[in-house]
Every structure is written in structure tokens, then in C-alpha cells.
Amino acid sequence: MNKESMAISHFLKSLSGTEGLEIEQRIFNVSSFSISVFALVGTVINYIIGLNMAVVGLSFIGSIIAFYLFYLSRYRNKYSNQLISYYLIAIITVLGIMYFYNNGLGGTVAFLIIVLLNVFILVAPARFQYKIAGILFLFYATLLILELNFPGWITPYSSRGEAVIDHMTTMFYSMGLTTYVIINFRNKMLKDRREILKQNKEIQSQKMEIESRQQELQRTVNELQERNTFIETLLRELSHRVKNNLQLVISILDMQIIEDEKSAQQSQVQETKNRLTALILVHQRLYGQETGVAIFMPDYIKELCESIEFFNKPKTSEGEIISYYVEPIDLNVEKVISLGLIINEIITNSFKHAFQDAEHPNITIRFRFIDSQYHLQIEDNGSGFVYNKDNNRTGMSLIHSLTKQLNGKLTIDTGPGKGSSFSLNF
């Protein structure tokens, strides 16, 4: 591209406005400016070739109107549907009068109407395009009807040379402006199309990348699910084996109890068996659960105490000995193991030592959740005992040790002839 072409291109771009403007406003700017220049040049040419002075004056008025509209749109950014309407009204007024002073149907107004029809359809919003086209068609049809009915209103050319020059000037301008407008609009469409295609490719690429990441994420999720299933299977198998091993140890202890003739030794073995029972009940419940590592306490406490009662209940006693007041609480496994061993020691001691002379033995167990703490209370109506904190008996030592593991606080209220009460908060 040579310097002259570059200069013209730069000049036209400066007339149309910045790249940020819509193509419709840019076409409006260029067309209104070119119409103002053409009308001004036409004013001079029309005067030189001797056209009717009304045509000369109307051309000059049209030039002023077009340039003012160009100024409002290009430099004041007043482009709007209202501005387009003013432009259309001004064009119809000027050309409508000029038609009769410029040889009517044989003049050049028809060319200008066709050019303006193209421009207005391109710059106007889609919802107004048919209306504008209809207005211009109706406008031209009205001019033809008036010419047909009032031929005396038409001012003809004074010579053939005058007509040729007028037609030649208008034809070249009309062809040039129409070509420029259509080419620019088409180039804008092609540019938008290329941009859309580019964006579509980017979107498609991003979509493929997202799908790839989703597939990778799904594979990761599947692997994690497989690992989770494998770990759950291992834990279940481990729990099952632990339960079986504990049952085996309990069976051995049962054989030892049967074979052992000394009641003291039997009692010690029975205590050990009861402790193992507290543990095996936890594993039984874990193994039977589908999910979670918490134990439902009402069922666990009742099953544990019934097991202890079965082996230790006095033969002379009838009816239920143990009363349960346990809230529906799910408790963590680690806490359940410690709590179960504590309950086992207290209940076992009650049966062993408290009910030797009791006619109607009774044990009450309460387990609640109060003030953000778990509260266990076990009471019996037995003979009671003299409590010594420094007592080194195995059962009491185990209870205090397990209480520390729970970070709890144990309160014992007992004495000879008044029964026993154990309160544990943790």
C-alpha cells in the first residue's frame, strides 16, 4: 500500500471514529460526512453549470444539515435512534423539494434516495429497518404521483450538457458511497466471523481440556473409591479376626473356670472373662455396622450388663435386678471401650460384694448427655464399703486409670450399709 492509499485509509478511519464504536455508528459518521461534502461540491457544480438556484440553495442547506449531524455523532457521541430519525426527516424534506426543481423523474434525486435507503437500512436498528424502507418507498411513490398529476411543478434541465454533468456527478458519488459502505460492513462481518470462529476454537479447546480433567478426576475418584472399599474390607476382616480371637480366649477361660476347683481362682478368671466380654461386644457391633465407628449406647450397655448378670446373679434372687435409664446416644469407639470396662468393673463388684445379704438386690444405670458432657451414674442398694482413694485393688485401680483416659471425673459415694453410687462425668 502506497503513502497516498495509507493516508486516505487513515483519513477515513479518523472520520468513522475509534475502533471501539459500533459499525453502524461508524458507517453513519462516514456517510453523513461524505453527503455533506458531496452536497457542498454539488452546490458549487450546480451553480457553475447553471442549475436552478433553488437546487443550489437546497444542496447547500443539505450540506450544512449533514455536517451538523456528523459533528453530533462523531465528536459529541450523540448517535442514537433519535438522531437517525432527524436525519431521515431532513433528507425527505430537502430531497422532496429538490425533486421538483431538478427535473423530477428525469433528475438525480432517485439515485440519492436509493443510496440513502442502503445507508439507513445498515445503520438503523433491526426493528426499524422495514419501517425506514417503507417510509422511503412511500416517499418516492408520493413524488411520482405528484409529478404525474402536477407536471407543471417540474423544472426541467436547461440543456443536455447540464443534465449529463448532474447525472455523472451524482452517479459517481452514489456508486462510491454505496461501495464504501457495503465493503466496510462486509469486512466488519468477516472480522466478527473470524473472531467468533477463533473464540469457538478456544471454547472447544477449553471444553476438551475440561473434559480431559473431568475424566482424570473421575479416574482419581474411582481409584479412591476402590482404595476405600479395600480399606473397609481390611478393617472388617481385622475386626472379625479380633472378635474371633477374643471369643477363643473366652472359651479357654470358660474351660479354666470349669476345671478350677478353687472359688478364688474361679472369681479372678471370671473377672478377666467379663472384661474381655466388654471388649468383644464392641467388636461385634462394629463388625455388624455398615458405616460409622460409633456405638449405640442403650443396646451396648444393656447387652453388657445382662452378660455380667447371667454369670453373677444370686441364685436366690428373682426378677430383674438391673434398671436402665440410657438416652439414645451414639458414642465413639475409643470412649465406649473405656466406658464398657468401667461399667464391667462396677457391676461385677456389686454382684460379688454388695448383695451377699440383700433380699431384693437392685442396680440402677443412668447414662445421659448433660451440659455438653456425658454423665454415667451407677447405684446399688447393697451393703456398701469403706472407700479409700489409695486402695490398690485391681478393679478400683483399673476404674481410675480408665477415668483418666476419658479425661473424666469420678465421684464415689458409699459406706457400710448405705449402698454405693458411682458418678462419672467426661
Residues facing residue 365 across a β-bridge? 324, 378
Tell me the backbone φ, ψ of residue 324, rounded to 5 degrees. -115, 130
* C-alpha closest to that of 407 among 347, 332, 335: 335
Q: What is the largest CA-CA distance in the chain?
A: 151
- Using the 3D structure, point to which of 166, 186, 207 is the last residue of a domain: 207
In a domain, 302, yes or no: yes
Domain boundary among 207, 234, 249: 207
Examine the pLDDT at 8 and tell me if it is beyond 50.
Answer: yes
Q: Based on the fold, state whether residues 270 and 197 are members of the same structural domain.
A: no
Is residue 14 domain-resident? yes
Q: Looking at the 3D structure of the chain, how many domains does it have?
A: 2
Q: How are beta strands 409-414 and 420-425 bridged, if at all?
A: antiparallel
Domain assignment of residue 238, yes or no: no
Using one digit for the tens of pLDDT, what is the confidence trace for 21-35? 777 788 788 888 888
- Are 198 and 333 found together in one domain? no
Whether 170 and 275 map to the same domain: the answer is no
Could you tell me the CATH number of the domain that includes residue 285?
3.30.565.10
Cα 350 to chain centroid, rounded: 61
Same domain, 276 and 184: no
Quote the pLDDT of residue 348: 84
Residue scoring higher pLDDT (248 or 412): 412
Please give the residue range of the domain that contains residue 338: 260-425
The 10s digit of each residue's pLDDT in 311-355 is 777 666 677 888 899 999 988 877 887 888 888 888 888 887 777
- Work out the angle at residue 66's Cα, subtended by the Cα atoms of residues 65 and 67, and round it to the nearest 5 degrees: 95
DSSP letter assigned to residue 357: S
Is 76 within the bounds of a domain?
Answer: yes
Task: For residues 265 and 194, state if they share a domain.
Answer: no
Across-strand partners of 324?
365
Is-contact 174 112, C-beta < 8 A? Answer: yes
**Which of the 8 DSSP states describes residue 104?**
G
One domain for residues 31 and 135: yes
Same domain, 266 and 203: no
136-145, 199-208, 248-257, 261-270: which is most confident: 136-145
* 55 and 197, same domain (yes or no): yes
Task: Dump pLDDT digits (tens) for 65-106.
Answer: 988 988 888 888 888 888 888 888 988 898 899 899 888 888
Q: Which three cell numbers stand for residue 89?
A: 426527516
